[in-house]
Amino acid sequence: MIEREHQGPSGSSPGLPLETVLFDLDGTITDSAVGIVESYRHSLTSFGLSASDAEIRRLIGPPLADGFSGLGVAGGQLDEAVDRYRQYFSTKGILENRLYPGMAEILGDLASAGIRIGLATSKLTEYAERILDHLGVAAHFEVIIGSTRDGSRVHKEDIVGCALAELGQPDPSGVAMVGDREHDVYAALIHQVHAIGVTWGYGSVEELRTAGAHVLVDGPADLNTLLLQAESAPDR
């Protein structure tokens, strides 16, 4: 089901026409919960802390330092917590990942329709590249932008801004950001592009609505329909 919440940029609707689509990774393209939960747990144990799967799953998407802070890691230990997380994730957690059914088809259909595709994720760029390559879909992406190890690019609005810059600053009215968390929506709104929330990931419908998503989509088939409206738009 496709549920329209608010008008998009300039009062337009996503897909009429779309020329560029940015995707989040975790909870949007891939189900990465197992690897992320285990990576969090590996790091928390070293500080004598623990958290349930449900507590950790709610933190998938935002920057890692924010997640560890919410789980009780002291401010002065956040960098160490992130490093310990990455030690596990880079060797084991990164491969505990799978494509959501239908996502490979969406990416292929968008590419065939001539729509530019980019990735904007809070994961390190190098991890995102490895994951997409491992899953066989990296070739569909014109740009893959994530966070940086030095902390110079961490927040989602900066990541989306970098992706748009790498794509040559396309007209926002023809761009959509697709994601499962409020941070994806906020970043889209900051850059005045269409904010499409997907409900199969790690955020809730209420979270996406409250953040101001223009459209909510319940399944990959509906997302494909929405995004490919651009293919038949009169001015394409």
Indicate which CATH number applies to the domain containing 206. Answer: 3.40.50.1000
Say how far residue 214 (Cα) sits from the centre of its chain: 16
Do both 136 and 26 map to the same domain?
yes
Grouping H, G, I as helix, E, B as strand and the rest as coil, residue 121 is strand
Do both 87 and 182 map to the same domain?
no
Do both 102 and 162 map to the same domain?
yes
Angle at 12 between CA 4 and CA 229, to 5 degrees: 75
Structure tokens that stand for 118 in this block: 């980019």
Number of residues in the chain: 236
Do both 210 and 109 map to the same domain?
yes
Do both 88 and 106 map to the same domain?
no
CATH of the domain at 84: 1.10.150.240
* 17 cis-preceded (ω within 30 degrees of 0): yes
Question: Alpha-carbon torsion 39, 48, 65, 57, what sign?
Answer: positive
d(CA 134, CA 230): 29
Structure tokens that stand for 131 in this block: 């994951």
Q: Percent helix, strand, coil in the chain (nearest 5)?
A: 45, 15, 35
Q: Give this prediction's pTM.
A: 0.87
d(CA 39, CA 106): 29
Do both 85 and 138 map to the same domain?
no
The residue among 52, 70, 95 that closes a domain is 95
Question: Of 226, 202, 210, 224, nearest to 6 (Cα)?
Answer: 210
Amino acid letter, 177: M
Per-residue pLDDT of the chain (236 residues; tens, 9 = 90+): 778 877 777 666 665 579 999 999 999 999 999 999 999 999 999 999 999 999 999 898 888 999 999 999 999 999 999 999 999 999 999 988 999 999 999 999 999 999 999 999 999 999 999 999 999 999 999 999 999 998 899 999 999 999 999 999 999 999 999 999 999 999 999 999 999 999 999 999 999 999 999 999 999 999 999 999 844 444 43
In the chain, the number of structural domains is 2
pLDDT at position 233: 44
Active site residues: 24
Do both 88 and 107 map to the same domain?
no
Question: Of 112, 113, 134, nearest to 29 (Cα)?
Answer: 134
Q: For residue 136, give its domain range.
A: 2-31+98-232
